[in-house]
Amino acid sequence: MTRKFFTSESVTEGHPDKVCDQISDAILDEIIKQDSDAHVACEVTATTGMVHVMGEISTDCYVDINSVVREVINSIGYDRPECGFDGNTCAVITSIDNQSPDIAMGVNESYERKDGELDNDNLIGAGDQGMMFGFACNETPELMPMPISLAHKLSKQLAAVRKNGTLSYLRPDGKTQVTVEYEDEKPVRVDTIVISTQHDPYVTMQQIYGDLIENVVKPIIPAELLDENTKYFINPTGRFVVGGPVGDSGLTGRKIIVDTYGGYSRHGGGAFSGKDPTKVDRSAAYAARYVAKNIVGAGLADKCEVQLAYAIGVAKPVSILVDTFGTGKASDEKLAEAVGKVFDLRPSAIIRDLKLRTPIYRQLASYGHIGREDLNVEWEKLNRTEALKKAVEA
């Protein structure tokens, strides 16, 4: 029997980096509502009393960026001076340019299209070079690794009890962390839970500890995964009053491991938030998850990682790799061949099949872009399982 421990973390929507991710994606959503073909690469940074929106946006529509920024900050809960950061009074600075014409040249018309291949799905090329990863495993109902799944659920619950008034002394910033013990690659128990949450200054640590165990941990973590040896660290520094962009500056794209698999699987390196779907950093990462989840959902593997790689301006991926870590019911090579037959992984096809030209992005900017069955996104659907089985059999 082999035994190991794996840890993943999540953050709440009030974490300074997540504030920036949500602003970036809210701006993207507002643009896509008016211009679904817009090219958007929107970055945000936040610090004490100030938000800076920057990037490259090519569109004919008008969006009141100032209003979008303030609405996002206020909806998160930074809506009064006591929190240290206030969406009603903070400065909003914008620095927006058009997309580089050298990049647009490859995105607007793909290498294949220029070479005479007139298939409509060759219309646009990949918005950048790079490699993207997707992953799935059968540890949870949503086919996600258990550590990140539980960490996200704790973060969502932490926000929920703040917003519904159950624990009204909580403030928006917070982080969670879960360590899961594995035996022979199977999760058997939760070893450690860490929760750090911003709070009003008058609350005692004893009250916070008891309230979070009763109202956050117990409703979320299955009792059978907890035992007398499970360790709890609740606000281990002893105080967390100063938080959000006042306590630490925020930046779009700095929580890419939180956004995906909690470190359990690899990440290609590109961030998601603020990028329109021609950017394969985002769209192909969703597609790779779609492929991996359907492989595991079809019973063709217990665990599966998919890598896609692209060249800027070229529609077809330059490589497709499937790794089932020895759990596949067919060879990884055969599964990769089946993927190539069942899934069209050119950017135009990914955008079409996953419905990525719709304003779905702000809701993804907190609590993970992957495993979000609660949002009914296309890349979490198990609708290619039968086709994969037939392709493998053939």
Report pLDDT digits (tens) over 296-346.
Answer: 999 999 999 999 999 988 889 999 999 999 999 999 999 999 999 999 999
As a whole number of Å, the end-to-end CA separation of the chain is: 37
DSSP 319-349: EEEEE-TT--SS-HHHHHHHHHHH---SHHH
State the pLDDT at residue 107.
59
What is the torsional sign of CA 135, 139, 144, 147?
Answer: negative
State the pLDDT at residue 190.
98
H/E run at residue 47: strand 39-47
Buried b (16+ CB within 10 A) or exposed e, 241-270: eebbbbbeebbbbbbbbbbbbbbbbbbbeb
State the pLDDT at residue 313.
84
What does DSSP say about strands 91-97 and 50-58: parallel, antiparallel, or unpaired? parallel
pTM: 0.94
State the pLDDT at residue 146.
98
373 touches 380 (CB < 8 A): yes
The percent of residues above 70 in pLDDT, for the chain, comes to 94
- Does residue 234 register a pLDDT over 70? yes
State the pLDDT at residue 74.
97
Report pLDDT digits (tens) over 105-124.
Answer: 445 555 455 556 656 666 67
Report pLDDT digits (tens) over 189-209.
Answer: 999 999 999 999 999 999 999
State the pLDDT at residue 222.
97
Give residue for tokens 């916070």: 208
Q: What whole-number distance in Å separates Cα of residue 25 and Cα of residue 14?
A: 15
- Tell me the two tokens of residue 48: 């004490």
Report pLDDT digits (tens) over 372-382.
Answer: 999 999 999 99
Give the three-state DSSP class for 179: strand
State the pLDDT at residue 375.
97
State the pLDDT at residue 252.
97
The per-residue pLDDT of the chain, averaged, comes to 93
State the pLDDT at residue 111.
47
State the pLDDT at residue 241.
86
Please give the distance of CA 302 from its chain centroid, rounded to a whole number. 22
- Tell me the two tokens of residue 60: 């004919």
